[in-house]
Amino acid sequence: MRLNEFLGTEFPIIQGGMANIATGEFAAACANAGALGMIATGGWDGERLRQEIRRARELTNKPFGVNLMLMSPHADDIARVILEENVRVVTTGAGNPGKYIPAWKEAGIKVMPVVAAAVLAKRLERYGVDAFIAEGTESGGHVGEMTTMALVPQVIDAVNVPVIAAGGIADGRQLAAAYALGAIGVQVGTCLLASEECPIHDGYKQAILKAKDSDTVVTGRSIGGPVRVLKNKMARTYLELEKRNAT
């Protein structure tokens, strides 16, 4: 089974949740283009999410879902709004979503945690999740340590539900490679930042388009919060502060 059959989308592609970027309007544009659109919630409370879900419903009748960033101080609130607004697909990032899964499953929601290690996938499988998104360290945003190439087959071997590959995927060759590793499809984030519909500044889009293989860096490793970002002045300053053991 391929991801498009699993989700009822045209293509085997999920638009990854991206905090403060993946609005209801952006998720609807991705859904209309044939992927699974995802509304991200990092930085928002439940009421803002409710508005964004309603906005997406005005703009598309194609499937879309909600991404819960587990580090959010509003995580409980958002998990409740997901139920109240009858969201059909949920992905979770940056942590263990175990406490929310029973209520979501009871409501018939498809739950797909993002994992950066096979051990977490194995633990969460017991809650009855529907699939996993195995995200390698090539990904933009919060990252784990393992590469997509090493991680995806290990998650596939560890669990009995479908696995979607993410991290460093931006074209058809990489989708084919994800299939070769045993994934049913892919989740992408960074490449969509450069799309016309993406609500970020044009300078950010141009920086993404210009970036080459060695133009990203991981900040926050020393404080247990690794995040892959473009290697710019702010990232360099951040890394210098880290080296000096700033808080």
Whose Cβ is closer to ligand FMN: residue 203's or residue 247's? 203
- Please give the torsion angle defined by the CA atoms of residues 166, 171, 175 and 178, in that order, rounded to the nearest 10 degrees: -50
User: Shortest approach of ligand FMN to residue 128 CB, angstroms?
Assistant: 20
Dist. CA 176–CA 181, nearest whole Å: 9
In whole angstroms, the minimum distance from the beta carbon of 191 to ligand FMN comes to 6
Q: Which is nearer to ligand FMN, 90 or 156 (CB)?
A: 90
The site for ligand FMN (CB under 6 A) is made up of: 16-19, 21, 40, 42, 67, 69, 93, 114, 135, 138-141, 166-169, 187-191
Choice between 180 and 246, CB closer to ligand FMN: 180
User: How many C-beta atoms lie closer than 10 Å to residue 210's C-beta?
Assistant: 9
Question: What's the closest the beta carbon of residue 87 comes to ligand FMN, in angstroms?
Answer: 15
Nearest distance from C-beta of residue 203 to ligand FMN, angstroms:
14
Quick one: 1 exposed, middle or buried, by C-beta within 10 A (0-12, 13-18, 19+)?
Answer: exposed
Closer to ligand FMN by Cβ: residue 20 or 61: 20
Question: Measured from the CB atom, is 170 or 239 closer to ligand FMN?
Answer: 170
135: left (phi over 0), alpha (psi -120 to 50) or beta: beta
- Bridge-based pairing of strands 13-15 and 37-40 is unpaired
CB of residue 244 to ligand FMN, shortest distance in Å = 26
